[in-house]
Amino acid sequence: MARNKEALVLLLDVGPSMHGVLQQVENICSTLVHKKLVYNKSDEIGVVLFGTKETCNELAKELGGYNHVVVARDIKVVDEGTTNALQNLPRGTSPGDFLDAIVVGLDMLIRKFGNMKGKQRMCLITDAQHPLRDPPQGTKKDQVDTIADQMKRHEIKMDCIVFRESGVPHNAVMDENDQLLYHFRERSVTKVVQVDSPTSLLGALRTRNVLPVTVFRGDLEVSSNFKIKVWVYKKTSEEKFPTLKKYSDKAPASDKFASHEVKVDYEYKSVLEPDTVVPPDQRIKGYLYGPQVVPISSAEWEAVKFKPEKGVKLLGFTNRSNISRHYFMKDVFSFVPEPGNTKAIVAVSSLARAMSEMNKVAILRCVWRHGQGNVALGVLTPNISSVKNVTDSFYFNILPFAEDIREFQFRSFSSLPSSSQPTEEQQEAADNLVKMLDLAPPGREEILKPDFTPNPMLERFYKFLDLKSKQPDANVPPLDKCLKRITEPDPDVIDYQAPVIKKIGNAFELKENPKKKKARTQDRLTYTAADDQAKLLEEPSAEKVGIAEILFPAEEKVEIGDHNPVQDFEAMLAQRSSSTWVQKATVEMQKYITALIQDTRDGDNHQKALECLVALRKACIIEQEPKEYNGFLTKLYQKYKTADDAKFFQFLLSKNASLISKEEAPDSDVTEEMVRNFCPKPEPFSQ
């Protein structure tokens, strides 16, 4: 077998006790096949059903026994037939014996591949609720030992997914079956997972196995005399949609070897000579620097690049409480000791346990590879293993630099008047709502665990992709019931807790208060004093309206007029009926300011234009859009600097309404020196 090729045998329990979740079993197995058709077309899959009425397998024919086990599909390369074999699974009539199914699946792999090396795996899905038949010789535990020895010999792994709905009482048979499965885990490379809902079942089976690849192998340098050999892997990484590829249908239908590949070539032409193609050696990149473009060659860019040496260095330790959770960025990495290196294992375990006991974390400087253009600064958190034969390790999270942090300042609730503070009844109603929607209630398993919750968008995409391959004109099907439980609150909980929802609706009186809304925007733009804010908040409210009108208000048409343009602009900012409303308001204000300057006579509109520009400047600082304001002001200056309106810009500078610098807004790319050099003062006339 090829190194990246996998052979998988699905062992599916279709007995009477599994009938309620067979639809979800079909879905999860079909998704696995769909992903293999996209990412691993050479993989092979076999399907074994147990708990069936019939018996059809090679061991039953040759040796007898192994009843109610059917080989629904031999081990073959994945294709449309694999998908069909997993649709409309038969509803069995006999209790399933998972040990017989494991032996049949193991026999299929050994017959197919013998002693060939490669990735071979079995996946068992059952509820393990029924008694197993006694073996001809020895005990059931002895039988598990024999099977596990064969699995280790042929390097075959197994995933066991045990589905039992919450509330099902355990009995002696179930406990015995669980012990046998856990014995598999101890004796061979077997993973056992228990789930209690159809949604968790969808995420329990890894439908796509990603080959673990190290991002770093080398020394964790604690000091110049103390270095630990470690390997670093990615612990989490976002699963994305498969890349869409361009497909050409120009090749003849009779050409079986046509690749249908589309090649894209780019040509660069001069603006002055549109018919002349500019060759690569005559092209150079340019970067905007204020109003000019600065050309930088590739050789210069390489010389400017920071090229740190590969390595991981410990900078120091700090209390765990000093690192806030919201500082974590990007993916999570796992630091493990070098496999087989006893000294590294002991050193990592000692360091991790000491940090855990002292409640400390480490700060690291990481450069994963030679030639890397950036340095990762992050926090190393100890991960103490609770599983036998699994070593201690670390988790690594990248921390932000100063440029990466966004500061959002909000007024404290304590500064609000007592009339705006929640009453005891309102607080109790809010507390009950939070308790009602608790995903980890006391005494119950957590709902929507990340390990068992699939991405509903990906699940739906692969299902639709398979449908489109069979029916090109098919419409997008509705969202599956199990996936709805991920994207929407549980309807059973909502119905059961209707009194709690009604109580919170009665506790909070919904009112519409346009003046109050305008006052909040005025507060944000003009920085009203705390006493004035209290007065604004105590203004009388408008009449009570329906909840639908509050949640889905009609869009209010607001335009910037000549009577009071600044207030009109602030009203537009306050509306926010869509995500682009702030941008729309700033564009309208820019048009209005340009029109004022253009239509001015002897500077009669300069005062009003300046007031509008000051309002626009404050809004761009608050909304973190300094580049929008700086670009507009630069274009305005370039257009009117030679006319009589040049006096306007001197007037503007005297009111400190120039460009927005980095000191005022971190997102700005304008320095204080650039602000001082903007719009130079005219030289005095001398005779």
Please check whether residues 54 and 105 belong to one and the same domain.
Answer: yes
Q: Pick 426 or 396 by higher pLDDT.
A: 396
Burial 439-465 (b: 16+ CB within 10 A, else e): eeeeeeeebeeeebbbebebbbebbee
pLDDT score for 462? 85
- Residue 126 CA to residue 107 CA, distance in Å, equals 19
- Asked if residue 635 belongs to a domain, the reply is yes
Residue 645 binned pLDDT confidence (cut-offs 50, 70, 90): low
pLDDT score for 548? 39
- Residue 368 CA to residue 234 CA, distance in Å, equals 12
- pLDDT score of 338 more than 90: yes
- pLDDT score of 139 more than 80: yes
Please check whether residues 501 and 610 belong to one and the same domain.
Answer: no
- Asked if residue 467 belongs to a domain, the reply is no
Burial 263-292 (b: 16+ CB within 10 A, else e): eeeeeeeeeeeeeeeeeeeeeeeeeeeeee
Last residue of a domain, one of 524, 551, 578: 551
Q: Pick 573 or 542 by higher pLDDT.
A: 573
Q: Among 379-388, 392-401, 506-515, 668-677, which stretch is predicted with the lowest mean pLDDT?
A: 506-515
pLDDT score for 334? 95
Residue type, 280: P
Give the dihedral of Cα atoms 345, 346, 351, 355; nearest 10 deg: 90
- pLDDT score of 291 more than 80: yes
Q: Pick 501 or 578 by higher pLDDT.
A: 501
Please check whether residues 199 and 223 belong to one and the same domain.
Answer: no
- Asked if residue 262 belongs to a domain, the reply is no
Q: Pick 551 or 531 by higher pLDDT.
A: 531
- Residue 359 CA to residue 123 CA, distance in Å, equals 40
Last residue of a domain, one of 382, 404, 426: 404
Residue 549 binned pLDDT confidence (cut-offs 50, 70, 90): very low
- pLDDT score of 307 more than 80: yes
- Residue 595 CA to residue 604 CA, distance in Å, equals 13
Please check whether residues 534 and 654 belong to one and the same domain.
Answer: no
Q: Pick 83 or 334 by higher pLDDT.
A: 334
Please check whether residues 527 and 637 belong to one and the same domain.
Answer: no
CATH number at residue 582: 1.25.40.240
Q: Is 632 helix (H, G, I), strand (E, B) or coil?
A: helix
Q: Pick 252 or 163 by higher pLDDT.
A: 163
- Asked if residue 252 belongs to a domain, the reply is no
Q: Which alpha helices (DSSP H) does 623-680 contain, by range?
A: 626-640, 646-654, 672-677
pLDDT score for 636? 84
pLDDT score for 162? 92
Please check whether residues 186 and 58 belong to one and the same domain.
Answer: yes
- Which residues span the domain enclosing 424? 415-437+489-551
Please check whether residues 346 and 378 belong to one and the same domain.
Answer: yes
Please check whether residues 231 and 167 belong to one and the same domain.
Answer: no
Please check whether residues 370 and 325 belong to one and the same domain.
Answer: yes
What's the order of all strands across the beta sheet hosting 44-50?
69-77, 44-50, 6-13, 119-126, 156-163, 190-195
- Asked if residue 28 belongs to a domain, the reply is yes
Q: Is 418 helix (H, G, I), strand (E, B) or coil?
A: helix
Q: Supply the pTM of this predicted model.
A: 0.64
- pLDDT score of 552 more than 50: no
- Residue 105 CA to residue 100 CA, distance in Å, equals 9
DSSP 118: S
- Asked if residue 639 belongs to a domain, the reply is yes
Please check whether residues 10 and 143 belong to one and the same domain.
Answer: yes
- Asked if residue 686 belongs to a domain, the reply is no
Please check whether residues 56 and 75 belong to one and the same domain.
Answer: yes
Task: List Cα–Cα distances, 363 to 142, 319, 383, 416, 675, in angstroms.
Answer: 49, 11, 15, 40, 38
pLDDT score for 105? 94
Last residue of a domain, one of 551, 576, 597: 551
Please check whether residues 36 and 152 belong to one and the same domain.
Answer: yes
pLDDT score for 646? 67
Residue 353 binned pLDDT confidence (cut-offs 50, 70, 90): very high
CATH number at residue 130: 3.40.50.410
What pLDDT digit, counting tens, does each position of 424-440 carry? 888 888 898 888 888 88
- Mean pLDDT for 547-571 is 65
DSSP 21: G
* Number of folded domains that form the chain: 4
pLDDT score for 515? 57
- Residue 13 CA to residue 185 CA, distance in Å, equals 20
- Asked if residue 200 belongs to a domain, the reply is yes
pLDDT score for 681? 53
CATH number at residue 369: 2.40.290.10
Q: Among 127-136, 369-378, 617-626, 677-686, which stretch is predicted with the lowest mean pLDDT?
A: 677-686
